């Protein structure tokens, strides 16, 4: 049998019952929970980790290293799962993630922790995208919207549990527990998801893995992030080190784009952006995640500086942001199949999110805790509808044979936006010398911290404005799948 002859080897989704589909989705959602929990559980502990290991100026790298490596390998997992199947790819991702978690827990220096987080990202990059791809395998775009409730449940649980657990562990136990807790959860995920995926459709196609493309994007991004870090520490952009880093990042970026144009199977197939939906949706997600992940990382530090919150309370302060996004994402996912103009909810939401960020920027040094919580909730509610809207719109707009790579490309730019956002916002906070400084709020420090966070919030609002423009330009194509019920007419 030739490679092309087996390229369409797949079990039709229609052969699965609803009960089987729910079992499969629940299995991969448990694996996805690990990755989403690890994104939210670390943020409240960052100041504590900085005090414990030193090198507080590199705190943003704890988040960025994970996001960067997970970004680069996301498309690789999409292709790897197309070659060998979803189940083997998911088991590999879980295994690498747990090895990285162990290294993080054993870290005795900031450098060791950053390396461990990078290794975690190599595994975590596959967990979210593979879970979403499996959902795409078993359900049509119109039917798929109802499964958003499973994804929303995962995000809701991790959004509430992650910040609270992270702050509690850092304050009352040890920040290393944040990573040790992944081991029993990971073992359970391997057991449950491994069994559930035995009944999933077997989708296999022949692909080549673009290792050079992944290496180039990591190297280019690391160069940029190092330059941003040094700039935040006061290094002149005209210094030899900064010129060398910036030039290297630029050359590697150009090489990366040129490689994508000529590679047989590039990390990101540039042709997919010719689709009038994919290009606008991925751009909207990129800039929204710039603001969203930046908020999730730096709001706990903001709370600790201005509200004198301890690590536990600062972590709890994130619940309204993350929980609000889950609530509105769930609502948007449920109503999308009934609407013709399904992107309107996301457009209105982004306007609300921009207003919340501008409120933060204008009142950064004068907000009390509950006022800040109100703005954070509005930000979360506003951002939530974009996530299911962009995902389902992209999956609906591409040919089913390109579902894996389209989903992986969306996840790639979603995570990459967060990585760049954390790095750039971290450079701003570091430049004002407020990283890890949650001590006495004297007049000079208060003025410096206020200026830093005004700049951070204003930049996030600008990124959201770009996201809004991209989404407004995105074409709305009718969702494929069973027709609407007469009892629920389109609106």
Per the domain annotation, does 480 fall within a domain?
A: no
Owning domain of residue 231: 211-264
Average pLDDT of the segment spanning 331-343: 73
Per the domain annotation, does 482 fall within a domain?
A: no
Q: Are 138 and 275 part of one and the same domain?
A: yes
Specify the pLDDT at position 155.
65
Task: Give the length of the chain.
Answer: 491
Q: Are 162 and 27 part of one and the same domain?
A: yes
Specify the pLDDT at position 191.
80
Specify the pLDDT at position 102.
93
pLDDT band at 483 (very low <50, low <70, confident <90, very high): very low
Look up residue 338 and give its DSSP letter: G
Of 423, 421, 419, 398, nearest in space to 408 by CA: 398
Phi first, then psi: give them for residue 41, nearest 5 degrees.
Answer: -80, -20
Per the domain annotation, does 483 fall within a domain?
A: no
* Packing angle of the helix pair 182-196, 86-105 (nearest 10 deg): 180
Per the domain annotation, does 132 fall within a domain?
A: yes
Q: Are 55 and 185 part of one and the same domain?
A: yes
Q: Are 459 and 372 part of one and the same domain?
A: yes
Residue 191's CATH number: 1.20.1250.20
Q: Are 310 and 441 part of one and the same domain?
A: yes
Per the domain annotation, does 205 fall within a domain?
A: no
Q: Structurally, how many domains does the chain consist of?
A: 2
Q: Are 282 and 388 part of one and the same domain?
A: yes
Partnered with residue 9 across adjacent β-strands are 204
Q: Are 238 and 361 part of one and the same domain?
A: no
Residue 213 has pLDDT above 60, yes or no: yes
Residue 377 has pLDDT above 80, yes or no: yes
Per the domain annotation, does 147 fall within a domain?
A: yes
Q: Are 249 and 279 part of one and the same domain?
A: no
Per the domain annotation, does 229 fall within a domain?
A: yes
Per the domain annotation, does 30 fall within a domain?
A: yes
Q: Are 379 and 278 part of one and the same domain?
A: yes
Q: Report the distance separating Cα 24 and Cα 21, nearest Å.
A: 5
Residue 441 has pLDDT above 90, yes or no: no
Instruction: Name which of 34-43, 428-437, 480-489 the model is least confident about.
Output: 480-489
Of 294, 13, 45, nearest in space to 171 by CA: 45
Q: In the structure encoding, which two tokens stand for residue 218, read together?
A: 């990591």
The SS3 call for residue 391 is helix
Q: Are 299 and 324 part of one and the same domain?
A: yes
Phi first, then psi: give them for residue 9, nearest 5 degrees.
Answer: -70, 100
Mean of all residue pLDDT scores within the chain: 77
Average pLDDT of the segment spanning 27-46: 78
Of 414, 452, 190, nearest in space to 292 by CA: 414
Q: Are 258 and 270 part of one and the same domain?
A: no
Q: Are 138 and 25 part of one and the same domain?
A: yes
Residue 426 has pLDDT above 60, yes or no: yes
């Amino acid at each position: 049998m030739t490679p092309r002859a087996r390229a369409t080897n797949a079990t039709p989704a229609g052969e699965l019952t609803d009960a089987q589909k729910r079992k499969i989705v629940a299995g991969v959602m448990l694996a996805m929970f690990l990755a989403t929990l690890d994104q939210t559980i670390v943020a409240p502990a960052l100041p504590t980790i900085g005090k414990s290991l030193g090198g507080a100026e590199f705190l943003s790298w704890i988040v960025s290293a994970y996001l960067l490596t997970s970004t680069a390998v996301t498309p690789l997992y999409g292709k790897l799962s197309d070659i060998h199947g979803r189940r083997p790819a998911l088991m590999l991702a879980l295994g690498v993630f747990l090895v990285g978690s162990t290294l993080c827990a054993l870290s005795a220096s900031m450098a060791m922790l950053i390396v461990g987080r990078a290794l975690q990202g190599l595994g975590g990059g596959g967990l979210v995208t593979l879970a979403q791809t499996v959902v795409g395998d078993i359900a049509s775009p119109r039917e798929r919207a109802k499964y958003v409730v499973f994804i929303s449940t995962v995000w809701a649980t991790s959004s509430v549990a992650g910040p609270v657990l992270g702050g509690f562990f850092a304050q009352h136990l040890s920040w290393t527990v944040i990573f040790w807790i992944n081991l029993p959860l990971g073992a359970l995920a391997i057991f449950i998801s491994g069994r559930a995926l035995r009944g999933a459709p077997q989708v296999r196609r022949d692909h080549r893995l673009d290792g050079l493309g992944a290496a180039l994007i990591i190297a280019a991004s690391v160069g940029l992030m190092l330059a941003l870090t040094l700039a935040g520490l006061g290094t002149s952009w005209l210094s030899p080190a900064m010129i060398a880093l910036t030039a290297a990042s630029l050359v590697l970026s150009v090489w990366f784009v040129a490689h994508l144009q000529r590679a047989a199977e590039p990390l990101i197939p540039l042709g997919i952006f010719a689709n009038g939906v994919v290009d606008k949706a991925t751009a909207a997600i990129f800039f929204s995640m710039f603001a969203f992940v930046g908020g999730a990382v730096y709001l706990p530090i903001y709370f600790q500086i201005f509200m004198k919150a301890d690590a536990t309370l600062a972590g709890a302060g994130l619940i309204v942001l993350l929980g609000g996004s889950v609530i509105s994402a769930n609502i948007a996912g449920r109503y999308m199949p009934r609407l013709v103009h399904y992107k309107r909810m996301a457009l209105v939401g982004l306007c609300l999110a921009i207003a919340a960020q501008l409120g933060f920027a204008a009142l950064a040094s004068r907000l009390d805790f509950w006022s800040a919580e109100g703005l954070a909730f509005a930000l979360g509610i506003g951002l939530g509808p974009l996530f299911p809207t962009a995902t389902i719109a992209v999956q609906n707009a591409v040919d089913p044979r390109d579902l894996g790579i389209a989903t992986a490309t969306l996840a790639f730019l979603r995570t990459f936006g967060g990585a760049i956002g954390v790095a750039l916002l971290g450079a701003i906070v570091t430049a004002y010398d407020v990283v890890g400084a949650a001590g006495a709020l004297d007049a000079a420090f208060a003025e410096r911290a206020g200026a830093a966070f005004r700049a951070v919030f204003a930049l996030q609002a600008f990124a959201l404005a770009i996201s809004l423009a991209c989404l407004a330009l995105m074409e709305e194509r009718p969702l494929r799948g069973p027709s609407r019920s007469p009892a629920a007419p389109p609106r």
